[in-house]
Amino acid sequence: EDQVTQSPEALRLQEGESSSLNCSYTVSGLRGLFWYRQDPGKGPEFLFTLYSAGEEKEKERLKATLTKKESFLHITAPKPEDSATYLCAAPMLSGYALNFGKGTSLLVTP
């Protein structure tokens, strides 16, 4: 069964303290690994899609990387406004709908 597993479940950082979130997957024939940000009471906001091992994408303080078994979301010098839940997902075998991990809840304190 295809699975997407995220760790840690929760992470608390001081402002400026860099860290990484992990997403491991067991998906046959990966057709993309998706990262989203979700703020409370809102729908997920698209961040990145990665397709092949070694691929990297960046957006402001976020950088996503992909290996054959996992993806990392690196957060460099985070700010309080980066506080959110970060979700990782992979397409289901049946099509383009996504199978989501449980997310990492990030809190960045001043």
Residue among 34, 71, 82, 108 that touches another protein (CB under 8 A): 34
DSSP string, 13-75: EETT--EEEEEEEE-TT---EEEEEE-TTS--EEEEEE-STT-EEEETTEEEEE-SSEEEEEE
Q: Does 43 bind another protein (CB under 8 A)?
A: yes
Residue among 19, 32, 79, 83 that touches another protein (CB under 8 A): 32
CB 70 within 8 A of CB 57: no
CB closer to another protein, 87 vs 108: 87
At 80 the three-state DSSP class reads helix
CB closer to another protein, 15 vs 60: 60
Binders of another protein among residues 66 to 105 (CB under 8 A) are 87, 89, 92, 94-103
Binding site for another protein (CB under 8 A): 32, 34, 36, 41-46, 49, 51, 87, 89, 92, 94-103
